[in-house]
Structures are given as structure tokens and as C-alpha cells.
Structure 1
């Protein structure tokens, strides 16, 4: 059993999982007649109920849903393919929790020039995205709904959120794979 755990750690730590995901995402996009690298993204968040086994420091109270939970932020391309994930306590506001996945998207996918978001991603976040990341964050409920419906039956980040949780064993704030050695 210990050998299996070591192999799983090697796959993750070596960058093999991240590399495989990137290659497969590119192939799916090309099979759909698109460029391998996306130019537009969608960001969404979703609160997910937690159990008592989740440490109190890793969960928060979502006032809108009135539950103790975690919140996951997901950035996808217009096909609904994953670009970035970030998990935080649910009491974190959308405009604050979105910064890391937006930054990761900027670093890992420099071709993404515009990101569509719902109304929770407004104000300072739009300005920060333009000034710091040099990216346009277009925030409107209608924009996100239209973008998801015309681009893919998978429906963008909300559908990605509902398909399941981030990888098992991932702690809040550490959902992005480490930038270690990449496989050529």
C-alpha cells in the first residue's frame, strides 16, 4: 500500500498529472475545431456543504445559503474544460476568492484575454484584473448565461462545479498543482 501512495505522489509531484491534463484539454479543443489554447474563460463559484470531519479553519458560514461549507472557484474555457480551481472557506466573498484562480489562469494560459463572470465578481476585482493582470473581466449574469449556453452543452464553470469536487486530498488554498519539473 505504501508503494501505491509513493507512486501517486510521484505522479503529482513530477508534474505528470498537470501535463497530461493540459495535453488532453488541447486535444479536446482541437477535436472541436478550436485552437489548443483558449482565448476566453469563465469563472464561477459554488458553496459545497461540509461535514464535521472538515477542520473548522477550512470551512466557513455562507450567509446566502445559511450553511457551513467550503467555496470552490473554477475557471474554465468556453467548452467547460478546467483551467484553474481554488477552494476556500465559504465566508470568502467572490471578489476576494477569485484573485488566485484568475492569477493562475493568467500565468498558465496567457492567451486568455477575457474572462466572463456573474454579478458576484464586480467592483474592485474588475479593476484589479485590468490593472494587475491586464485582462478584461466582464461581469454580468446575462453575459455568463449567454456565453455558457452558446459555447458548450457542458455549460461552463457552474457545470464543472456540479460535476464533482476537486481532487481528493486537496486542502483549501492549495488546489493548484505545484509548478515543479514539467514533462517535455
Structure 2
């Protein structure tokens, strides 16, 4: 974590007194309905200590602004709390595994709203190579010869609705079947998913390893032999759509983070923002026209 002033490092033992929140003015800001979902999942404020200078909702909006717009921490607009304070909270919350705790809760809420069991039993895995900025450490960057991309590779597993289950970021030089092992192990420990769809890049010894060590079945979805050009493939399109959702957040269009764990945190914040927006909206985006346009019949 970067060095910050002494008063900000004591925020964790502070209380809120007569605080005025900033007006919501950016597309990335949380709506009132989103905040109702997220606020109870954030760490509680300490009951003793000096007053907190900034509302946690403002801090959260600042984090989501960075994730959505891709700006540097130091470039945060002046109506947000000081960037040192925002970055301090970002680090403190990650040390407390806040995003790892929020994600399964909001995912379960959305799955229930979609008429599904809150805990999925099947997942879909995929990887994405992205260019690394000059801030990416040499110890965690590489070259993906297949995609001709130098930087990092992010692995994600989603449920069959495309909601993020877990993620892992590593060097772009890591092969899919090798990088899949740690994320599948994490999936095994954190969820009850025991059936995973994957593309041909994950075929081979990984299937036997997953079946033997994790009691997890991996089904390879292959392209039809006669396929020419782009074709939507069953199951695989879901995780590819999720990767598109994630890279719509400009901080994820390229990897800027010094440490892979920070990249993973950015991915989780993007997923949390997307999921809570869907919860707050109350219906899928494809049904928006039905809800907003009065019927003429």
C-alpha cells in the first residue's frame, strides 16, 4: 500500500459525525437501491475514535469511478474524497477480503431473483489475455504467443447466468490448462460447483486432474468441424459475454496494476457493480423496454 498521511491511517477506528454526502453525478455512482444492497456487507465502523471525514458511500463511488473510467487514483475528480483516503480504503477492504465476501452474497440474491438456486452447481471457465501497462511488474507479465499479446492473463469462472464465481490473474505466458488448476481449486473450496464447461484450450491432462483431485467434471465444448468464421457456441458464449461486460470497465481493458491480486480486486468490483445494478433494476436489461413503455393494447 502507498504511504498516506497519518490521519487517514486511523480511519479504521473512527466514527461518523454530522457527515454530508456528495451528490451523485457520475454514471458509475451507486444508486440508492444499490447502496441498500451493498452497505450492510461493508465492514462496520468502529464505535470509538476520531470522526470520519468522508462517507463510505463516497469512497465506494470513487473506487467504482476508477474501475469504470480507468483513471489513475491521483486523477480522481475533486468532489470525491482525497485519492489517498480512497486508496487506503481500497487496500484495507481487500486485506479484509471484502469483495470476496460481497460477491457471493449479491450473486445469490440475483440468482434467487432469476428463479435459480442461490448456489450454482455448474460453471464455465475461460481466459483472456490483456496488454500490460508499464506499471505491471516484470515478475507477473509474459507473452501469449497464441493471442500475440504481452501482459497478463485473467481466468474467470462464471455460473450459467454469466455471474462471476471466482477469478485469477497471472502472466500471459501461462498455458490455459496450467492456469486453470489454481482457479479450479479455489472454485472447489468456495462453491459446490462440480461440473465445468470449457473450450479446447483446457483439454488434456487437466480433465483427469480435475476428476481425480477435485471430483470435478470438465466438459469440453468444441467448435463444429464445419464451422467457418464466428459462431455462438452453447455454454461458452455466456462466459465470453461476461468477459465483454468486464472489459467495458476501462480499468480492465488493459492491466495497470503492479500486483495480480489488485487486478483480481478490480475484476470483483466490476462484477459487484454489474450484479448490484441488475438487482436494483429488478428485471433483465432485455426487458427494459417492456417496463418503461406503456402498453398500447
Q: In the alignment, does 2:216 pair up with 1:135?
A: yes
Bigger fraction of residues in strand: 1
User: Structure 2: how far apart are the matches of 1:22 and 1:168?
Assistant: 26
Q: State the secondary structure of the residue aligned to 1:146.
A: coil
CA contact (8 A) 1:88 1:173 kept: no
Match of 1:86 among 142, 162, 168: 168
Normalising by the residue count of structure 2, what TM-score does the alignment of the two structures yield?
A: 0.52
Bigger fraction of residues in helix: 2
Q: What residue is the counterpart of 1:57 in the other structure? A: 139
User: Structure 2: how far apart are the matches of 1:170 and 1:34?
Assistant: 38
Change (3 A) 1:19 1:173: closer
Match of 2:148 among 44, 66, 81: 66
> After the TM superposition, which parts of structure 1 deviate over 4 Å for at least 4 consecutive aligned residues?
166-170, 173-177
Q: In the alignment, does 2:214 pair up with 1:126?
A: no
> Which gives a bigger RCO, structure 1 or 2 (Cα 8 Å, sep 6+)?
1
Change (3 A) 1:175 1:136: farther
- Which protein is bigger by CA-based radius of gyration? 2
Q: List runs of 5+ in structure 2 lacking aligned partners.
A: 9-84, 225-231, 266-297
Q: Deviations over 1:30-73 (max 9, x none)?
A: 00000000000000001101223322222111111223121111
CA contact (8 A) 2:126 2:156 kept: yes
- After TM superposition, the structure 1 = structure 2 runs for residues 27-176 of structure 1, keeping only pairs within 5 Å, are 27-109=109-191, 111-142=192-223, 145-148=233-236, 155-156=238-239, 158-162=240-244, 163-164=246-247, 165=252, 169=257, 171-172=259-260
Normalising by the residue count of structure 1, what TM-score does the alignment of the two structures yield?
A: 0.81
**CA shift for structure 1 position 169:** 4.7
User: Structure 2: how far apart are the matches of 1:169 and 1:71?
Assistant: 13
User: Structure 1: how far apart are the matches of 2:176 and 2:215?
Assistant: 20
Change (3 A) 1:54 1:15: closer
Q: List runs of 5+ in structure 1 lacking aligned partners.
A: 150-154, 178-184
